[in-house]
Chains A and B, each alone.
Chain A
Amino acid sequence: MIGSIEVRSLSRSFHTTVRRPGFAGTLRSLVNPERAVKHAVSDISFDVAPGELLALLGPNGAGKSTTIKMLTGILTPTSGEARVAGVVPYEERERNARNIGAVFGQRTQLWWDLPVKESFAILRDIYDVPKDEHTARLREFDDILELSAFWDTRVRHLSLGQRVRCDLAAALLHDPPVVFLDEPTIGMDVVVKEQVREFLRHQVEERGRTVLLTTHDMTEVERLAERVVLINHGRLVLDGSLDEIRRKFGSTWQVRATLADGHTDVVPPPGIALLRQDGPQVVFGPDGPEAPTVHQALKAVIERYEVTGIAIDEADLEDVMRVAYAHAEPAAEGV
């Protein structure tokens, strides 16, 4: 199906040589190398519908990039199957290449010594894009990414933000239905990040492209992603909407209250824990899986105590993901 991504029980292992420490250990490793198997991705399955933007999240080394490399056809899985726009990417690399665009972080695919426009022209001819289509698409990209200000400049003279914007355009010049973005905004300033986000929103909403995005920037996830797949230690931990993730991992609120005189022995309401107390200053947090929402907790604290001041801190997505990553650790280690 055009634009869909189907992943079924995908796994990828790498065989490595364990280097022993010290000089003698190094010599021993040369003579009698100790082999080890690293399971970068283990049995993950998910689907991405045409025109959907999915954020593939996880801590460093979780297996996100390996997954993307299998889906782009660069890497062949050890087991399982993937289909991108109806094509098995690692079996039909060239056919798959016409269906996908990809940006890998700060790694540029542009030709360093040539002006950006010349790089675009090379890609146009490699992908057999008709000239009028190419011109129209460049104009569309220029409207949002403001490329014309520097597209006559040689790539080596571009700033990081300019280069990544050009790389994004280069990845989409042949009109691919599926786009893979591996940390595309890493190291960019907030203005350029926002420009890139607007561009991606436009590509998904107006052009109907399917986007698989990996990022550590939770603002980006909040602004762009409808759905999130969380992986850790190569295993799929969670597949759901941002709301579902918040419901599952997001109850990390805090209620900070200043109590009126006389409250020395504080016994918190059910489902609420006393996190800290410094004289009349107390901090409450959720206690267990049945903890109330932050607003219910606020009400419970006010009803139980006489307070002279109160404030709430709700966890942002960054906190939620921190909890989610931590939550995923024992499960992964137990595998």
Chain B
Amino acid sequence: MAVLHAWRTARVTPLGELHAPPRMTAVLVRLTVQVVLVASLWSGLYANTGAKAGMSREQAITYAVLAVLASRLRELDQFAGRDTVIQHMHFGTIVYWYLRPLPPARYHALRAVGEQVYGAAWALAGYAVCLAAGVVEPPGSAAVAGVFVLSLLLGQLVLYHVMLLLDQMCFWTVRNTAAMLILIFAQNLMSGVYAPLWFFPGWFRTLSTFLPFQATLNVPLSLYVGRIQLSDAGGQLAVQAGWVVLLHLFTRFLWRRAARRVISQGG
């Protein structure tokens, strides 16, 4: 039965999206426009030069397009579904999370799994189209592909916990809008969504190593395009796993503290 409730809870977002075709159309249009623009931008930047920041034209375009597709994994219209922590705090419906025989932490995680699997379906479809159209390069080898998938998985776990931290902040501050804006900017900038981290100055990349954002996308994408060699993958995967463990312990501690804050903030 545990499998059943996990399945039911995980499929809330995909089902909600399927019930709202205009939202799906918007995703398709946005993803297409973004991929075309990003590919055009990087093609233009490389028009009169060979390699920059240690990346060839093909590597840069592949990195940038994959970053656009991967950023789709956790960018769903949760707000429209009224199932974000901030909305539950605002409407006082957060109490129901504490009235079910399913711990809030597990419910939150199951919902995220569903969202990410659904987002992955979009990303995978986009990847297949881009691969067929020759916009992105295939991975260098089966080993690279395998390490990339593992690294992407760890990166998504890091990202989940970072987003969870923001959600948990609502138990103390009710609103997390400002923090969310800062996080979205920091995440896009420091994970490589705006531009591969290899194009940034050395001090910026050094700073990034102390933050979890580069572990979410830059590491797996760099592994995919070969900017990080397979021989260095072990260390990078270990850093990602370290972030997962650290963030997991911290968010687990915050869940326990948050349970005492349900009423004072949740109505």
Judged by a CB distance under 8 angstroms, whether A98 is at the interface is yes
| Chain B residues engaging chain A, CB cutoff 8 angstroms | 1, 4-5, 7-9, 12, 15-17, 19-20, 80-83, 91-93, 95-96, 98-103, 260, 262-264
Taking CB as reference atom, which chain B residue is nearest A70?
Answer: B263
Besides A111-B12, A125-B7, 7 new A-B residue pairs in contact (Cβ under 8 A), listed by A number? A74-B263, A97-B99, A109-B93, A112-B82, A113-B17, A113-B83, A126-B8
B5: contacting residue among A100, A118, A126, CB under 8 A: A126
Tell me the chain A residues, 93-145 only, with Cβ under 8 Å from chain B. 93-95, 97-98, 100, 102, 104, 107-109, 111-115, 118, 121-123, 125-128
Known A75-B263, A104-B95, A107-B92: A113·B19 in contact at CB below 8 Å: yes
Known A74-B263, A104-B92: A114·B8 in contact at CB below 8 Å: no
CA gap between A97 and B107 in the complex, in Å: 15
Chain B min CB distance to A166 (Å): 13
A74 touches B101 (CB 8 A): no
B98 touches A73 (CB 8 A): yes
Taking CB as reference atom, which chain B residue is nearest A69?
Answer: B263
Judged by a CB distance under 8 angstroms, whether A293 is at the interface is no
Taking CB as reference atom, which chain A residue is nearest B264?
Answer: A14
Interface SS of chain A: helix, strand, loop or mixed?
mixed
CA gap between A14 and B263 in the complex, in Å: 10
B93: contacting residue among A108, A114, A128, CB under 8 A: A108
A114: contacting residue among B4, B5, B15, B80, CB under 8 A: B15
| Chain A residues engaging chain B, CB cutoff 8 angstroms | 14, 66, 69, 72-76, 93-95, 97-98, 100, 102, 104, 107-109, 111-115, 118, 121-123, 125-128, 154, 156
Chain B min CB distance to A312 (Å): 44
Across the interface, which residues of B come within 8 angstroms of A111, CB to CB?
A: 12, 16, 81, 83
A-B contact pairs, 14 of them (CB 8 A): A14-B264, A66-B263, A74-B263, A93-B98, A98-B101, A107-B93, A108-B93, A109-B96, A112-B83, A113-B19, A113-B82, A113-B83, A121-B8, A126-B9
Known A74-B98, A74-B99, A94-B101: A114·B12 in contact at CB below 8 Å: yes
CA gap between A14 and B261 in the complex, in Å: 11
Known A74-B98, A104-B92: A122·B12 in contact at CB below 8 Å: yes
Across the interface, which residues of B come within 8 angstroms of A112, CB to CB?
A: 16, 81-83
Taking CB as reference atom, which chain B residue is nearest A99?
Answer: B101
B263 touches A125 (CB 8 A): no
CA gap between A127 and B8 in the complex, in Å: 12
B101 touches A126 (CB 8 A): yes
Known A104-B95, A109-B93, A109-B96: A154·B264 in contact at CB below 8 Å: no
Greatest chain B CB density within 10 A among A97, A109, A114 is at: A114
Greatest chain A CB density within 10 A among B5, B16, B263 is at: B263
CA gap between A74 and B4 in the complex, in Å: 26
CA gap between A14 and B267 in the complex, in Å: 13
A127 touches B101 (CB 8 A): yes
Chain A min CB distance to B17 (Å): 8
